[in-house]
Amino acid sequence: MRLRCAVLDDFQQVATELADWSPVADRVDAVSFAEHFDTEDALASALHDFDIVVTLRERVAFPASLLARLPRLKLLVASGMRNSVIDYAAAEAHGVTVCGTASTSTPPVELTWALLLGLARGIVEESNSLRSGGPWQQTVGADLHGRRLGLLGLGRIGSRVARVGTAFGMHVSAWSQNLTKEYADEVGVELAASKEELLAGSDYVSVHLALGERTRGLLGPAELALLKPTAYLINTSRAAIVDQDALLAALHEGRIAGAGIDVFDIEPLPADHPMRTAPRLLATPHLGYVSRANYETYYREAVEDIRAFLDGAPVRRLG
């Protein structure tokens, strides 16, 4: 009997174009969904008759309650090798194998700089004005050279962002709860004395921390109040690290110069979400991992995962 595979959140409809599905075509029918299912009921209904599901990053949660409603599900493939929204114990209990794929940190590094530069030089505002016949020059760009870039997190992504900042001639400093001076020296950045010192002294602050109990709500009203009124905040990591209400208040009240945000408390954002209309905000719809090379890896290795599972030797197992 042929198996059915659902590919979730294929917004661009490229899942079957960027990878060769022929290795499993004789055993699997792949169906991609361009629409996002935002409730458990909608997911349970859409996926009820599927044996395999391919999901992007942590966009869709698979808690025990949902897994219990998917009686045919035998294989769940998630892009990346880390996923905090899958209940692995429940998956095992229901006989569901969970596998991952490789993922590169290059796209979020590049997007971080796209947002930072776009904010600093007023790119969107000036481009829109030029194209609509508006004023010729209406902003004065903020400089990068000689300014301080403060990084919250200096892991795979943060360390690469740091090197670009150094190339721009910025003074780069970093802080995280486990960051040591030895590693900061190795990367070539200054270890900030504290989170508070980094926030108060930086012209640009970029978030590159994993979400966990210690980082959830790490930047709340008190922390955002430490930022200079000329400072910019960039978050391409996880929305929950920054208090969304506090950030909106800071933007509306002009207490910071601006923010570049790629991650949100609800995704996709509802049409009436206040982040869609906030001032001083350059926002993108979670594009951090969305690049051709990354997608080619995700879907190529998803096909490999499916083939290996069907052959009885699953690879890249998670959980």
Which parts of the chain are beta strand (E)? 3-7, 28-32, 52-55, 75-78, 97-99, 148-152, 171-175, 190-191, 204-207, 232-235, 258-261, 281-283
280 catalytic residue (yes or no) = no
Integer angstrom CA distances of residue 218 from 204, 230, 232: 17, 21, 17
CB 190 within 8 A of CB 165: no
> Known catalytic residue: 316?
no
238 tagged catalytic: yes
Which tokens is 255 given? Answer: 């207490």
The answer for residues whose C-beta is within 8 angstroms of residue 309's C-beta and 6 or more apart is: 52, 74, 75, 97, 99
Of 205, 110, 92, 114, which Cα lies nearest the Cα of 153? 205
Question: Using an 8 Å Cβ cutoff, are 98 and 319 in contact?
Answer: yes
How far is Cα 233 from Cα 239, in angstroms, rounded to an integer?
12
Beta partners for 53?
A: 6, 76
The one catalytic residue in 40, 58, 190, 267 is 267
Active-site entry in 148, 208, 238, 304 = 238
Q: Which residues are catalytic?
A: 238, 267, 286
